[in-house]
Structure 1
Amino acid sequence: MSASPDTVRSVQPGWEANKTATRNAIVETAMNLVRAKGPGGFTVDDIAAAAGVSRRTFFNYFPSREAALVVSIEDFLDHAADQFLARPADEPLLDSMYEVLIALADPIHLAAMTEVYGLAGTDAQMNRFQLQGWQNCADRLVTAISQRPGADHDSLYASALVGSVLSSGKAALSQWYRRTGGDVTAESLMLLRQLLVDVVGYLRHGFTE
């Protein structure tokens, strides 16, 4: 006997919540292991065993150990792209990006991302996945700009603008890391927030002091 549509709908939210919980457990376990053993000190099997899932389940969520570790950066950038898409269509592009960073540049969103950013600097594979996350975000933003109602920007303009914003964001992260050594504290995260806000402000005003 097949389930009715109402039954399927009632089960779906719990199923999605379980998927999210499993994904989060894998990510949290991977982060705990990298803190304890360093980026190269454990395997996918170690993550799966500590998270209480099978190796097959791990690969249902992530293609590699490194992908599980850098997911916080990808999530941050995906959330930024989603927030940009929700901005008013007639708002100037740099104003939209500025408001998105203001909304996202808080300790909750920044803490995990900054920790992974520091780790990626010490591991080539993690860095490769991190860079792919930035590129995926850039592609989404370029597409979003071109699809805005009434948009008259060509692809070069959109690509140059997005590239400038994301490169400026990376510059802020790099500056933060040099100043703090990657130490994630409430004070250091407030510094990063200000650096991100400042760097987009420079773009908005044409880098005039």
Structure 2
Amino acid sequence: MNSTRPQATSQRLKVRRQLAAAAMELFATKGYEATTVDEIAAAAGVARRTFFRHFRSKEEAIFPDHDDTLVRAESVLDAAPAHENPIDTVCRGIKEVMRMYAASPAVSVQRYKLTREVPALREREIASVARYERLFTRYLLGQFDEHSHNGDQPLLAEVAAGAVVTAHNHVLRRWLRADGHGDVERELDHAFAIVRRTFGTLPAIAAAAPAAVASPRGEVLVTVARTDAPLSEVMRTIEEALHQPQR
């Protein structure tokens, strides 16, 4: 196993967080507009070129963990069990974002206050949120049967992904306004339960598989069951279809 990659990743994240801490302190004391990249780099003890190896702009500097968190969220989606409802998978994926904020409550609260005061930082935060929404939308779209919903799959995937992200952000903002106090994990689970009740039973959100069986009169009967449905449910669906009057 190559140990240099984890070490390099750890060092990279350490420098990014140093720069983020320096940026937040300077923004809070000098103001966002008056703070320069050179000052941020100097306060973090690195060269200007080092700053630009990690961030493209000073507003990006106070969000050092989003790139890595996006990778972790995508890994959750990639490793999802075949039987898991895709909405549940997306809920697990975005929990990586909440864990990022909850790992450093004081820093997260300070950053939240700064983003409320500085429009450029608020725009950067919105751009970060949009990246998660696009990731989850693509994932959910990939779970639909291409022949379902009369071509509305992109709309349904985007709406469902947006609902999960909105629920997460609602709970996150409430927690940040409370200065990082409270059981944010429990509140998040409650919010996700509401989303599941609304979107968790979307038809064909795990491609349905047709099953053909012969009826007692030798006719062919086609019925549909979810690929993640238990065998007992599949058999019940077939049995019910067999007893329906044939046209």
Asked if Structure 1 and Structure 2 have the same fold, meaning a TM-score greater than 0.5 normalized by the shorter chain, the answer is: yes
**CA offset at residue 197 of structure 1?**
1.8
**CA offset at residue 156 of structure 1?**
1.7
Instruction: Mark the CA change 1:32 to 1:52 in structure 2 (over 3 Å): closer, same or farther.
Output: same
Equivalent in 8, 19, 22 of residue 29 of structure 1:
22
Amino acid at match of 1:21: K
Instruction: Mark the CA change 1:147 to 1:73 in structure 2 (over 3 Å): closer, same or farther.
Output: same
**CA offset at residue 17 of structure 1?**
4.7
Match of 1:192 in 2: 184
1:15-164 counterparts in 2 under 5 A? 15-40=8-33, 42-73=35-66, 75-100=68-93, 105-106=98-99, 107-108=102-103, 112-148=107-143, 151-152=144-145, 154-164=153-163
Which shows bigger deviation, 191-200 or 100-109? 100-109
Match of 2:204 in 1: none
Asked if structure 1 preserves the Cα contact closer than 8 Å seen for 2:80 and 2:89, the reply is yes
**CA offset at residue 23 of structure 1?**
2.5
TM-score in terms of structure 2 length: 0.63
Instruction: Mark the CA change 1:52 to 1:157 in structure 2 (over 3 Å): closer, same or farther.
Output: same
Larger Rg: 2
Amino acid at match of 2:48: R
Asked if structure 2 preserves the Cα contact closer than 8 Å seen for 1:74 and 1:130, the reply is no
Aligned residue pairs, count:
190
In 2, the alpha carbon distance for the partners of 1:165 and 1:144 equals 13
Report whether the alignment pairs 1:175 with 2:170.
no
TM-score in terms of structure 1 length: 0.73
In 2, the alpha carbon distance for the partners of 1:84 and 1:110 equals 26
User: Greater RCO between the two (CA within 8 Å, min separation 6)?
Assistant: 1
Name the one with the larger strand percent. 2
Instruction: Mark the CA change 1:164 to 1:124 in structure 2 (over 3 Å): closer, same or farther.
Output: same
Gaps of 5+ in 1: 1-8
Secondary structure of 1:63 counterpart: coil
In 2, the alpha carbon distance for the partners of 1:94 and 1:67 equals 30
When the two chains are superposed, the root-mean-square deviation of aligned CA atoms in Å is: 3.1
**CA offset at residue 72 of structure 1?**
3.7
Secondary structure of 2:83 counterpart: coil
Name the one with the larger helix percent. 1
In 2, the alpha carbon distance for the partners of 1:72 and 1:103 equals 11
**CA offset at residue 202 of structure 1?**
0.9
Asked if structure 1 preserves the Cα contact closer than 8 Å seen for 2:20 and 2:64, the reply is yes
